[in-house]
Structure 1
Amino acid sequence: MEVKDANSALLSNYETLKYISKTPCRHQSPEIVREFLTAMKSHKLTKAEKFQLLNHRPMTAVEIQLMVEESEERLTEQQIEALLHIRHEHPFAGPEAEQKKNINTTWQ
């Protein structure tokens, strides 16, 4: 990739925060990141691919295939399923998780 004009657009921190607040990664914490990346160690992915999976939290095999370069050659169906399993084992602790936790404690 070639950079044509490095100064064509600048982002303020506010614009960046506004964008991130609308993505799944808004619920990340250092513990969640650490646990997710530890679970990903056995998978032969680049750091960039692991961080893409962490930030975007794909729900389907197609989404993983779009994020992992040459995934058809590099990953088997079982490996893709394993990646989806990791994603479900390490959910973000967002409002949905809090709501689910509150419902579970109410019924016990």
Structure 2
Amino acid sequence: MEVVNECKALLSNQEVLELLEEIQPRRKGSAVVTGQQQNLATICYETIKYLEKTACKHQNKKVVQEFVRKLEPFKLTKAEKLQLLNHRPTTAVEIQLLIEESEERLTEEQTDTLLDIIANSLPATTETEPMEQN
């Protein structure tokens, strides 16, 4: 994965996980490890460990692209789409928290449709258990 302009890109949790998993094997072959490299390795490890417990572990580029395509009729911002993708809301209240002025911008039916799209397009954390809260 290549980040074209690190200051302009919004990355999903799935993209961050993919990037960290990609760079982690390269770091293991390093002979001399400085203190900064050790700190970076710890941050990478802890971030991967956290993200693997979330729904993004079961996402891939195709899932993300299809999800974003299904959101087009809702006229959401990039940041709002990213929030929906990363947080995978399951209730109308969560939608209200993630989408600015959702009460004015979305009808109740549109909110229900959004929840259906999320439930049917984004894999859950596990098949039988809801995601753990820290």
Give the one of 96, 100, 124 matched to 1:69. 100
Count the aligned residue pairs.
Answer: 88
Q: Structure 1 residues 13 and 33, CA, compared in 2 at 3 Å: closer, same or farther?
A: same
Q: Percent identity?
A: 57
Structure 1 stretches lacking a partner, 5+ long? 1-9, 98-108
User: Structure 1 residue 22 and structure 2 residue 53: aligned?
Assistant: yes
Q: Is the counterpart of residue 52 in structure 1 residue 83 in structure 2?
A: yes
User: Does the Cα contact within 8 Å between 2:55 and 2:124 map onto a contact in 1?
Assistant: no
Amino acid at match of 2:118: R
Does the 8 Å CA contact 1:28/1:93 hold for their aligned counterparts?
no
Tell me the TM-score normalised to structure 1 length: 0.70
Q: Moved runs in structure 1, 4+ residues, more than 3 A?
A: none
Stretches of structure 2 that go unaligned for 5 or more consecutive residues are 1-39, 129-134
TM-score (normalizing by structure 2): 0.58
Is 1:25–1:56's contact at 8 Å kept on the other side of the alignment? Answer: no
CA-atom RMSD in angstroms? 2.2
Alpha-carbon shift at residue 88 of structure 1 (Å) = 2.3
C-alpha separation in 1, matches of 2:58 and 2:73: 24
User: Displacement, 1:91?
Assistant: 3.3
Change (3 A) 1:93 1:73: closer
Query: How far did residue 89 of structure 1 move?
Result: 2.3
1:15: how far off? 2.1
Per-residue CA deviations over 1:17-70 (Å, capped at 9, x if unaligned) read 122122222211111111101111111111111111111111111111111112
In 1, Cα distance between equivalents of 2:47 and 2:101: 29
Separation in 1, partners of 2:100, 2:90: 17
8 Å CA contact 1:61–1:80 kept in 2: the answer is yes
**C-alpha distance in 2, partners of 1:41/1:21?**
28
Contact 1:60/1:84 (<8 A) preserved: yes
Shift of 1:94: 6.0
